[in-house]
């Protein structure tokens, strides 16, 4: 039996496809393959805005944090709260819709390198906003800037894609996108510098951030636009060339 491609009338991004014959009939329909499962493990971050006094001191900050992404965390389920009203002789409860609250903040894990470029850059950001000894914001005087959130927060875009991550001309490769505004790191890493005799390990730093998340079709469009600008190199086996 030869495999059949989905007909033009079957759009894998159309929820109505579930009603088409063959979507589920007690077994996986390997001849039509109406839908593909979601595959995780392909994600990128893109800084849209970073305080100038960070990139002035650490010119490779955006590149080393974007391309050195080991893990991204902080996306949580959004639950709608309800409130109950008791009625009747038995006091039976009836639930009504209350509020729904978005998750806040996120984390990025990076591999640290000799010379501590990750620790130094994030520590410079944190201490510039609040010096841990005096509690004073030091960046306004040091860089001749006004003290305002606009001058010490950034914007970060998180993008999860399908496995064809290099197919940037196709906006459908984006599985999920979230834009974080008013982003600030909240941790200065030092604990990885402790010493234990006989232990020689590499170090990964989980950097904590505050930020306001935004999820919408407009963010998806922004992600499609920015994805084409990410400077990653995706090579096939035959593309390798030895230089030297």
Count CB neighbours of 158 within 10 A.
Answer: 23
Q: Is the pLDDT of residue 7 over 60?
A: no
Spatial distance between the Cα atoms of 202 and 180, rounded to a whole number of angstroms: 29
- List, for residues 171-229, the tens digit of each pLDDT value: 889 999 999 999 999 999 988 988 899 988 889 999 999 999 999 999 999 999 998 88
- List, for residues 23-70, the tens digit of each pLDDT value: 666 666 677 777 788 888 899 999 999 999 999 999 999 999 999 999
pLDDT band for position 167 (cuts 50, 70, 90): confident
Residue 102 has a pLDDT of: 80
Spatial distance between the Cα atoms of 12 and 190, rounded to a whole number of angstroms: 48
Q: Is the pLDDT of residue 14 over 80?
A: no
Give the pair of three-digit tokens for residue 216. Answer: 């919408």
- Is residue 77 within 8 A of residue 37, CB to CB? The reply is no
Handedness of CA 239, 170, 220, 17 (dihedral sign): negative
Mode of pairing for the β-strands spanning 204-214 and 106-111: antiparallel
- List, for residues 76-98, the tens digit of each pLDDT value: 888 889 889 998 888 889 988 88
Residues 6+ apart with CB under 8 A from 212: 102, 104, 180, 181, 182
Residue 23 has a pLDDT of: 66
- List, for residues 105-122, the tens digit of each pLDDT value: 999 999 999 999 999 999
């Amino acid at each position: 039996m030869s495999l059949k491609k989905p007909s033009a009338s079957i759009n894998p991004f159309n929820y109505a496809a579930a009603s088409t014959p063959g979507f589920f009939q007690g077994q996986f329909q390997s001849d039509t393959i109406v839908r593909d499962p979601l595959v995780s493990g392909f994600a990128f971050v893109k800084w849209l805005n970073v305080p100038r006094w960070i990139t002035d001191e650490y010119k490779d900050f955006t590149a080393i944090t974007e391309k050195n992404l080991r893990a991204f965390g902080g996306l949580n389920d959004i639950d709608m709260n309800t409130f109950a009203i008791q009625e009747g002789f038995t006091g039976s409860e009836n639930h009504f819709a209350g509020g729904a609250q978005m998750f806040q903040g996120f984390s990025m894990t990076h591999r640290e390198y000799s010379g501590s470029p990750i620790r130094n850059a994030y520590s410079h950001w944190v201490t510039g906003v609040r010096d841990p000894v005096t509690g004073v914001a030091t960046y306004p005087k040091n860089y001749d800037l006004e003290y305002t959130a606009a001058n010490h927060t950034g914007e970060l875009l998180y993008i999860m894609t399908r496995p064809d991550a290099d197919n940037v001309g196709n906006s459908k490769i984006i599985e999920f996108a979230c834009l974080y505004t008013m982003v600030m790191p909240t941790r200065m890493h030092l604990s990885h510098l402790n010493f234990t005799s006989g232990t020689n390990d590499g170090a990964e730093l989980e950097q904590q951030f505050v930020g306001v998340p935004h999820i919408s079709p407009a963010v998806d469009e922004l992600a499609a636009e920015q994805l084409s600008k990410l400077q990653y190199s995706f090579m096939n086996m035959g593309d390798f060339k030895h230089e030297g």
